[in-house]
Amino acid sequence: MLADIRDIIDEVNNLLDKVNSYESQITDTVDEYIEKIRGYVDKINSITVKAINNTNQLFQPFMVASTSKGTKRLSGSKGYPTVLTSDVTLFATTQTMELFVPIARKHVAVTNVFKGSTSAQDGNADCLARLKAVNTGRFNTVQDGTERFIQMRGMQSGYVYEIAYSCLDFHGKMATRKYYVTVQ
C-alpha cells in the first residue's frame, strides 16, 4: 500500500512537472507577445506625439516659386539661395494650403538685396536700386488673404534677394518667414 501511494505521488509529480513546463512555455510566449505589443504601442505613441508637436508648423507661412522649369521650394538660408529665372510667380500660402486656418492678410516684399558682402540695408546704392526695382506691383503691399499668386519681376543675376512673407490670421496673430533667392 505504501508503494502504491509512492507510485501515485510520483505520477502526480510527473504531471506537475509537465504542467510547470507548459506553464513556462506559455508564460514565455505571452511575455514575447506583450513585448511586441508594447513596441507597437510605443511606435504609435511616438508618431502621434510627433504629429501633435509639429501641428503648428503646418499653419506657418510657406512659399514656393513657379517658373517655366517647374515649382521650387524657397530656401531659408542666405548662404544657399534658391536659383530661379528672372520672372517667377510666388505661391504664398501655408503647408495646409489654408484649409484649416485661413489667412486674413498677406504681405510679401523684398526686404534686402545682397551682392557679396554688401547689402541694401548697409546702404549700398546698387543693392538699394535692385531692392526698389523688384518691390513694384503687388510686392510690398498688403494683400487680401485669398490672394495666392504674386508675380516677381526685375531680378538680376549676381544678387541674392531676401523675401519676407508675413501672414495675419483672423485673431490678429502674425507670422513671418524669410526666403532667399538668386537668378541664374
The reply to whether 62 and 47 lie within a common domain is: no
DSSP code for 89: E
The reply to whether 66 and 49 lie within a common domain is: no
CA distance 108 to 29: 62
The reply to whether 49 and 74 lie within a common domain is: no
The reply to whether 65 and 26 lie within a common domain is: no
Q: With the CA atoms of 141, 145, 146 and 151 taken in that order, what torsion angle do they form, in degrees rounded to the nearest 10?
A: 30
Total structural domains within the chain? 2
For the segment 39-58, the average pLDDT, to the nearest whole number, is 87
The reply to whether 89 and 26 lie within a common domain is: no
The reply to whether 75 and 43 lie within a common domain is: no
The reply to whether 81 and 8 lie within a common domain is: no
Domain that holds residue 76: 58-183
**Mean pLDDT, all residues of the chain:** 88
3-state secondary structure 4-19: HHHHHHHHHHHHHHHH
The reply to whether 92 and 148 lie within a common domain is: yes
The reply to whether 119 and 78 lie within a common domain is: yes
Amino acid at 128: L
Integer Rg of the chain from CA:
33
Binning pLDDT at 50, 70 and 90, where does residue 182 land?
very high
Exposure string (b/e) for 2-36, b if CB count within 10 Å is 16 or more?
Answer: eeeeeeeeeeeeeeeeeeeeeeeeeeeeeeeeeee
Give residue 184's pLDDT.
Answer: 82
**Contact in structure between 93 and 102 (CB atoms under 8 Å):** no
Binning pLDDT at 50, 70 and 90, where does residue 1 land?
low
Q: Is the pLDDT of residue 137 over 70?
A: yes
Binning pLDDT at 50, 70 and 90, where does residue 167 land?
very high
The reply to whether 70 and 45 lie within a common domain is: no
61 burial via Cβ count (<10 Å: 0-12, 13-18, 19+): buried
The reply to whether 9 and 84 lie within a common domain is: no
The predicted-structure confidence for 79-134, as pLDDT tens digits, reads as follows: 999 999 878 899 999 988 888 888 999 999 999 999 999 999 999 999 999 999 99
- Pick from 5-14, 55-64, 80-89, 158-167 the range whose average pLDDT is largest: 158-167
174: domain CATH number is 2.60.40.10
The reply to whether 21 and 67 lie within a common domain is: no
